[in-house]
Amino acid sequence: MDFGVLSTAGIAQKAFLPAVDASDHQTVAIASRSEGRADAVAAEYGIEHVYEGYDRLLEDAPIDAVYIPLPNALHAEWTKAAADAGIDVLCEKPLAVDTVEARDVVDYCEQRDVTLMEGFMYLYHPRTRRALEIADDHFGTIRSVTASFKFSLTGRPDDIRLSPDLDGGSLMDVGCYPVSVARQFLGEPARVYAHADDSRDSGVDTELAAILEYASGASARIASGFDTQKVQYYRVEAENGWLEVRDAFDVPGGEPLELEYEVDGRHALETFEPVDQYRLEVEHFADCVENGATPRTDGSEAIANMAVLDAISQSAASGAAVDIGAAVDVEY
């Protein structure tokens, strides 16, 4: 598969381009608002076609699919533009700024018969698949999930993650991961309660905590932030056991990873050899396009995750609990 990339974003350079290079696929085109920036990245990665302007890449590049790592507020616009050009889309998370927009984008791509996949790379790591397998095959009723993703955001005050106009904030940037993993183990919550703080007076949340409540009585506690040292983990508690994962989402490259768990009093620690989860994501996407299959992180998954993010945002703003159905009329 021949990929094009819209923007020279850090995640593209750090993760996506090396992942494609390590696969049987290739990146043949890249675009930026500044052709000079795109030229530099293209020279480093041996990308043949360079464009000033995202529309020009979609119109002219000899590509099969496009990767979109633009700021959150631009995901929907350029996903739909790619769909208009008949190009399959791998879009970074979150797919859209809210559930209404996410549903619109998903419908738009379905009507134009293009494959759409949201880039939640951690779900393609073998350790994540193993954790879900343990929970499905060996746990009784799961009572709670605790998950957190925080890091210290330093550097420019105009960082896009601090921009309300670009739909920044810790919830949208990293909090979407704890929400996602809680949903993998517990399904869809009924209600949420959240608290957020804007420690930098930026107009977006820089610290957030939320409780997800389930009709079964189970609960999840999630947290995200830009103001502390890096931490990323999840822990699942069931009636007959537990499991815990450290370095859970943005896994360190080149290092073995561990999964610790206990089932019916039997303790275990499994080790996973280093693997590029972004390469696995790319390969899954390409296989789905080739075979006409539905991606693991498809449009319906993006809508479901966004519905919870919407409810969390509304709860944090109002100071009251919010029912998921009341946050938006969700129909999956």
From residue 92, alpha-carbon distances to 42, 47, 127 in Å are 20, 20, 21
CA trace torsion 77, 78, 80, 86 (10° rounding): 170
In 10 A of CB 213, how many CB atoms?
A: 17
| Interacting residues of 5 by C-beta distance below 8 A, sequence separation 6+ | 12, 16, 17, 27, 29, 30, 31, 47, 66, 67, 69
Report which of 234, 292, 261 is spatially closest to residue 137, judged by C-alpha positions: 261
Please state whether beta strands 49-52 and 26-32 pair in parallel, antiparallel, or not at all (unpaired): parallel
| Interacting residues of 42 by C-beta distance below 8 A, sequence separation 6+ | 30, 48, 49, 50
Cis amide bond preceding 274, omega within 30: no
Catalytic residue among 14, 80, 93, 150: 93
105-114 as b/e: b if 16+ CB within 10 A: bbebbeeeeb
Burial class for 34, CB neighbours closer than 10 Å (0-12, 13-18, 19+): exposed
Asked if 93 is an active-site residue, the reply is yes
The arrangement of strands across the sheet holding 257-263 comes to 266-272, 257-263, 241-246, 227-238, 142-152, 219-225, 207-213, 191-197, 322-323
Among all chains, which residue has been given the structure tokens 């909090």?
Answer: 175
Among all chains, which residue has been given the structure tokens 């085109």?
Answer: 29
From residue 195, alpha-carbon distances to 186, 284, 311 in Å are 21, 36, 12
Among all chains, which residue has been given the structure tokens 């699942």?
Answer: 236
Catalytic residues: 93
